[in-house]
């Protein structure tokens, strides 16, 4: 019994020491925070006057205050073979996909391999693919050359990374040539994601055919036309309204409120006859 009491006393004493140590450590932390200017309350400590001190906190590279996400400057630099190459992405006829890759990043390796496939990555036909690495000041040309497929357009240009404010690799920028604007940018983990994004952009940028019953003889409404011309928000909405009105589609028009697929595409029998009037009919008739 006495032995048990002694053991319990020792345990209690040890716990008391442990608690005291924790309290002291906690007090030290609070004092340090207070010295840094982020303390809570008014600790009773004296001596070290608590003068608030700004604490610099930096996470990742600083981003520009106003990052330009629409301009598309010409990409110029050198090739891994030491030649010079410049690609104008604005004012061209189609889309240009700029793939900012590095020779060393693990995620980029998947993209380099995908771009070596004999059948290509599967981008739409009017899309020009340009891989942009940092310049020879940062990348080793031989390393880049070893990763690039023979006919892949590769430009080594640190300036391009700066111009497009690329935060890291891999990073992709899609430029619409006719409007000279970036219409998409971001990070992807797999080439299929990029290809899907480009295909969607291509569909969005393609003009909508004029409606079948266009009694006014005007062209079809195209939301992407307003987008391509740089309109956004209310201006873009007004531009779309004007195009719809020119096509004879006024507010309240039933075509604006489809309730079924037939409202969108017409009766099923009519759809079949549409198909039959093109190549199929010619072949069978």
Partner 1 sequence: MATLSAHGIEAPLPGGFEGRIFVRTPVAEESTYPVAQFATFSLPDDVADFGGGAVTLMGPDDIFAALFEYGPESVGRRLFARQGMPRSLSVGDFRPYLLRRGLGGQSGTQWFFTESGRPFTLYVVLGSDARAAALVPRVNSLIGPMTITGTTPPLMPAAAAGAGERWN
Q: Applying CB under 8 A, which residues contact partner 1? A: 73-76, 78-88, 90-94, 128, 145, 148, 150-154
Nearer to partner 1, 87 or 201 (CB): 87
Q: What is the C-alpha separation between 26 and 16, in angstroms, rounded? A: 15
CB of 73 to partner 1, least distance (A): 7
Nearer to partner 1, 39 or 73 (CB): 73
CB of 104 to partner 1, least distance (A): 19
CB of 113 to partner 1, least distance (A): 18
- CB contact at 8 A, 206 and 126: no
CB of 80 to partner 1, least distance (A): 6
Q: Is the peptide bond before 170 cis (omega within 30 degrees of 0)?
A: yes
Neighbour-count burial of 233, counting CB atoms closer than 10 A to its CB (0-12 exposed, 13-18 middle, 19+ buried)? exposed
3-state secondary structure 135-188: CCCCCCHHHHHHHCCCCCCEEECHHHHHHCCCCCCCEEEEEECCCCEEEEEECC
Helix (H, G, I), strand (E, B) or coil at 127: strand
Nearer to partner 1, 170 or 180 (CB): 180
Q: How far is CA 270 from CA 159, 215, 274, in A?
A: 56, 20, 6
Nearer to partner 1, 80 or 170 (CB): 80
CB of 128 to partner 1, least distance (A): 6
Nearer to partner 1, 90 or 105 (CB): 90
Nearer to partner 1, 77 or 247 (CB): 77
CB of 87 to partner 1, least distance (A): 5
DSSP state of 210: P
**β-strand partners of 153:** none
């Amino acid at each position: 019994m006495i032995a048990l009491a002694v053991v319990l006393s020792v345990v209690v004493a040890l716990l008391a020491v442990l608690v005291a140590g924790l309290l002291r450590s906690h007090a030290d932390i609070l004092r340090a925070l207070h010295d840094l200017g982020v303390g809570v309350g008014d600790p009773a400590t004296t001596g070290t006057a608590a003068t608030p001190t700004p604490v610099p906190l930096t996470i990742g590279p600083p981003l520009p205050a106003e990052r330009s996400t629409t301009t598309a400057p010409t990409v110029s630099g050198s090739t891994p073979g030491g030649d010079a190459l410049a690609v104008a992405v604005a004012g061209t006829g189609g889309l240009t996909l700029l793939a900012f890759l590095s020779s060393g990043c693990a995620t980029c390796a998947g993209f380099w391999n995908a771009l070596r496939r004999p059948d290509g990555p599967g981008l739409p036909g009017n899309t020009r693919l340009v891989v942009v690495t940092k310049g020879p000041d940062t990348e080793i040309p031989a390393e880049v050359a070893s990763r690039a497929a023979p006919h892949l357009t590769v430009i080594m240009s640190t300036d391009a990374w700066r111009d497009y404010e690329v935060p890291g690799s891999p990073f992709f920028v899609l430029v619409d040539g006719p409007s000279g604007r970036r219409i998409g940018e971001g990070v992807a983990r797999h080439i299929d994601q990029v290809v899907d994004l480009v295909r969607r952009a291509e569909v969005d940028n393609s003009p909508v055919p004029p409606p079948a019953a266009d009694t006014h003889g005007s062209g079809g409404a195209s939301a992407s036309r307003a987008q391509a011309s740089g309109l956004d928000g209310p201006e873009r909405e007004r531009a779309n309204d004007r195009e719809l009105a020119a096509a004879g589609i006024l507010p309240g028009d039933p075509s604006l409120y489809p309730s079924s697929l037939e409202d969108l595409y017409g009766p099923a029998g009519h759809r079949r006859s549409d198909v039959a009037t093109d190549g199929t009919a010619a072949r069978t008739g």
